[in-house]
């Protein structure tokens, strides 16, 4: 069967959504593109009260039985972006990198959010699984919180801020004081969720991509204290 490359699907989607300026930028990006991602950090020694979600939730570790609820959804009803979001989480799950947490909707017990809290004991797996230099190597007192995902039907209930704030606190069990997370600069819902769960911008990851991403150069730089990206307010 003929498979259409993702870049073509993205181009068609942008035209359909009449996002012409992004389309032009993407076309130019075939040759060169610069992507920026914020590294946000929370210091667990600074007291922070987790906000409440609009529905009752409880956080616990991911169980094997959750995979069926979370990943075995009918993907034919998902749009292209959602299919990718889910596939990324499934790949992380299959890579067996500890520790995935879920928030459970207490009204029916269904998992309604997932996120991985990885400690420095996972450094080797993190560096092997994610693209090279995607994340810094964790220091002994640093944990990494990644791949937040709220299924579309649950979005807008404040689950991310509440669950992320609570999951971050579990880093203390790993002997970590600091928790880091990385969010693309244009992912406003996620940036807002991070702010509401006690995270503040700390690092900037700049990626230079050449020739459709066949050559990539990444580097980290520290953001000035008090820096607030657009959409973070």
For ligand COA, which is the closer residue by CB, 127 or 147?
Answer: 147
Measure the CA–CA gap between 48 and 28, rounded to whole angstroms: 43
Judge if the upstream peptide bond of residue 80 is cis by omega within 30 degrees of 0: no
Q: Which of 56, 131, 156, 175 binds ligand COA (CB under 6 A)?
A: 156
Closest residue to ligand COA, judged by C-beta, is 156
Q: Which of 7, 157, 216, 220 binds ligand COA (CB under 6 A)?
A: 157
Cβ–Cβ contacts within 10 Å for residue 75, how many? Answer: 11
Kindly state whether residue 190 participates in binding ligand COA, applying the rule CB under 6 A.
yes
Contact in structure between 129 and 90 (CB atoms under 8 Å): no
Task: State how far the alpha carbon of 134 is from the alpha carbons of 54, 93, 146, 220, in Å.
Answer: 33, 18, 12, 9
For ligand COA, which is the closer residue by CB, 30 or 85?
Answer: 85
Kindly state whether residue 198 participates in binding ligand COA, applying the rule CB under 6 A.
no
Contact in structure between 160 and 112 (CB atoms under 8 Å): no
Task: State how far the alpha carbon of 71 is from the alpha carbons of 12, 85, 96, in Å.
Answer: 27, 11, 15
Count of residues of this chain found to bind ligand COA when the rule CB under 6 A is applied: 17
Measure the CA–CA gap between 20 and 55, rounded to whole angstroms: 38
Which segment (25-33, 127-135, 188-196, 205-213) binds ligand COA by CB under 6 A? 188-196
Kindly state whether residue 159 participates in binding ligand COA, applying the rule CB under 6 A.
yes
User: Which region holds residue 19: left if phi is over 0, alpha if psi is between -120 and 50, else beta?
Assistant: beta
Query: What residues have CB less than 8 Å from 10, skipping those under 6 apart?
Result: 26, 80
Kindly state whether residue 85 participates in binding ligand COA, applying the rule CB under 6 A.
yes
Kindly state whether residue 189 participates in binding ligand COA, applying the rule CB under 6 A.
yes
Site for ligand COA in 96-155 (CB under 6 A): 148-150, 155
Kindly state whether residue 73 participates in binding ligand COA, applying the rule CB under 6 A.
no
Which segment (22-30, 42-50, 126-134, 186-194) binds ligand COA by CB under 6 A? 186-194
Continuous segment of H or E residues that includes residue 15: helix 6-16
For ligand COA, which is the closer residue by CB, 122 or 190?
Answer: 190
For ligand COA, which is the closer residue by CB, 133 or 157?
Answer: 157
For ligand COA, which is the closer residue by CB, 154 or 178?
Answer: 154
Binding site for ligand COA (CB under 6 A): 85, 148-150, 155-161, 183, 187, 189-190, 192-193
């Amino acid at each position: 069967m003929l498979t259409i490359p993702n870049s073509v699907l993205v181009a068609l989607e942008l035209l359909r959504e009449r996002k012409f300026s992004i389309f032009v930028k993407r076309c130019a990006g075939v040759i060169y593109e610069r992507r920026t991602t914020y590294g946000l950090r929370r210091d667990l020694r600074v007291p922070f009260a987790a906000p409440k979600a609009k529905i009752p939730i409880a956080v616990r570790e991911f169980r094997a039985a959750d995979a069926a609820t979370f990943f075995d959804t009918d993907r034919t009803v998902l749009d292209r972006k959602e299919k990718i979001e889910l596939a990324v989480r499934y790949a992380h799950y299959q890579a067996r990198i500890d520790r995935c947490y879920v928030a459970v909707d207490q009204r029916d017990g269904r998992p309604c959010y997932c996120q991985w809290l990885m400690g420095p004991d996972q450094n080797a797996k993190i560096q092997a699984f994610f693209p090279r230099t995607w994340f810094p190597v964790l220091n002994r007192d640093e944990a990494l919180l990644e791949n937040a995902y709220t299924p579309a039907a649950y979005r807008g209930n404040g689950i991310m801020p509440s669950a992320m704030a609570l999951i971050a606190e579990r880093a203390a069990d790993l002997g970590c004081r600091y928790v880091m997370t990385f969010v693309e600069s244009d992912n406003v819902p996620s940036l807002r969720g991070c702010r509401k769960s006690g995270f503040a911008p700390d690092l900037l990851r700049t990626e230079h991509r050449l020739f459709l991403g066949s050559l990539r150069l990444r580097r980290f730089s520290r953001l000035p204290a008090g820096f607030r990206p657009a959409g973070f307010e």
